[in-house]
């Protein structure tokens, strides 16, 4: 897969991608990431990329000319029809479903903003969709772009060990993780749950799934409500709810 990022700070993207799983995806050539700097598409001596907002107010806005020229230059290196995505707080919330969808494409263009954001006409002319990684104020779209690249890269064929990808396609998909433990067996007086030491793999699988279901229900019920559940997950949830009702814990 080929990803191009339009950013005023190319090293922020390139340097951050050198490590771990994504670093290896790049080294193996399964992923390539290029950058395009809007400053290289300016024509004045100061290489100006920002200007004051029409209508007044604080802050600066990215000038449309250099932004759109950079988007077009980056898009020209990608397969025709590659999605052009702007990272912005106004976007749809980025989820694993978006990551899966984007990982199925041969190319992807990501545009990171700075200052107060982009001239709206750049979005109209050069962007297909806007994605947001969450509701907080940031100083730029680079970390969101890196978030999307990381989530997408791990879904590319051959990037992860197949053990893990297949485990995540099973019914635990869409649930929070179960608790993890490694040696030592007792740490600062806290023991590893006995079942994990039993060597009974069916029991261990059941325990992990139960932990994932219970934790998800407790911490992120919206991940479960209104979703089609695997029968195994539904059964565990029903057991959990029945036990909760018995203990009268449904009042909080």
Structure tokens at 58: 């604080």
Least distance in Å: CB of 146 to ligand 4G1? 11
Distance CA 20, CA 50 (A): 35
Distance CA 17, CA 7 (A): 15
Distance CA 46, CA 43 (A): 8
Site string for ligand 4G1, 137-156 (x = CB under 6 A): xxxxx--x------------
- Candidate segments 97-105, 132-140, 158-166, 230-238, binder of ligand 4G1 by CB under 6 A: 132-140
Give me the residue label for tokens 């490694």: 182
Is 7 a binding residue for ligand 4G1 by CB under 6 A? The answer is no
CB 63 within 8 A of CB 119: yes
Is 132 a binding residue for ligand 4G1 by CB under 6 A? The answer is yes
Is 162 a binding residue for ligand 4G1 by CB under 6 A? The answer is no
Give ∠ CA 137-140-144 in degrees, rounded to 5.
85
| CA-closest candidate to residue 224, choices 244, 238, 207 | 238
Q: Which of 44, 45, 54, 136 binds ligand 4G1 (CB under 6 A)?
A: 136
Q: Which of 124, 135, 188, 249 binds ligand 4G1 (CB under 6 A)?
A: 135
The DSSP output letter for 38 is: G
Q: Which residues have C-beta within 8 Å of that of residue 165, sequence separation ≥ 6?
A: 155
- Candidate segments 63-71, 126-134, 209-217, 237-245, binder of ligand 4G1 by CB under 6 A: 126-134
Is 113 a binding residue for ligand 4G1 by CB under 6 A? The answer is yes
Nearer to ligand 4G1, 74 or 210 (CB): 74
Nearer to ligand 4G1, 131 or 153 (CB): 131
Is 49 a binding residue for ligand 4G1 by CB under 6 A? The answer is no
Nearer to ligand 4G1, 134 or 179 (CB): 134
Distance CA 241, CA 107 (A): 45
Q: Which of 59, 134, 179, 193 binds ligand 4G1 (CB under 6 A)?
A: 134
Least distance in Å: CB of 140 to ligand 4G1? 5
Site string for ligand 4G1, 59-98 (x = CB under 6 A): ----------------------------xxx---------
DSSP track, 76-139: HTSPTT--EEEEEEEEEEP-HHHHHHHHTSSEEEEEE--TT-B-HHHHHHH-SEEEES-SS--S
- Binders of ligand 4G1 among 175-204, rule CB under 6 A? none
Handedness of CA 156, 159, 163, 165 (dihedral sign): negative
What is the contact surface with ligand 4G1 in residues (CB under 6 A)?
A: 87-89, 113-114, 117, 132-141, 144
């Amino acid at each position: 897969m080929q990803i191009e990022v339009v950013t005023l700070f190319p090293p922020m993207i390139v340097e951050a991608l050198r490590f771990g799983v994504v670093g290896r995806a790049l080294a193996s050539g399964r992923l390539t990431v290029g950058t395009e700097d809007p400053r290289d598409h300016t024509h004045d001596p100061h290489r100006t990329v920002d200007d004051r907002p029409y209508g007044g107010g604080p802050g600066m806005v990215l000038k449309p000319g250099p932004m759109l020229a950079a988007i077009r230059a980056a898009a020209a290196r990608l397969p025709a029809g590659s999605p052009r995505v702007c990272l912005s707080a106004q976007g749809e919330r980025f989820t694993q479903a978006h990551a899966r969808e984007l990982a199925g494409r041969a190319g992807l263009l990501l545009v990171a903003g700075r200052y107060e954001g982009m001239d709206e006409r750049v979005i109209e002319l050069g962007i297909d969709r806007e994605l947001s990684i969450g509701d907080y104020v940031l100083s730029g779209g680079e970390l969101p772009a890196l978030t999307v690249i990381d989530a997408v890269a791990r879904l590319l064929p051959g990037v992860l060990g197949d053990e893990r990808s297949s485990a995540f396609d099973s019914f635990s998909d869409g649930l929070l993780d179960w608790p993890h433990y490694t040696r030592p067996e007792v740490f600062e007086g806290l023991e590893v749950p006995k079942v994990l030491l039993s060597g009974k793999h069916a029991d261990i699988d059941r325990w992990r799934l139960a932990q994932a279901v219970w934790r998800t229900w407790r911490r992120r019920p919206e991940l479960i409500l209104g979703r089609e559940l695997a029968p195994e997950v539904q059964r565990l949830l029903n057991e959990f709810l029945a036990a909760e009702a018995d203990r009268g814990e449904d009042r909080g």
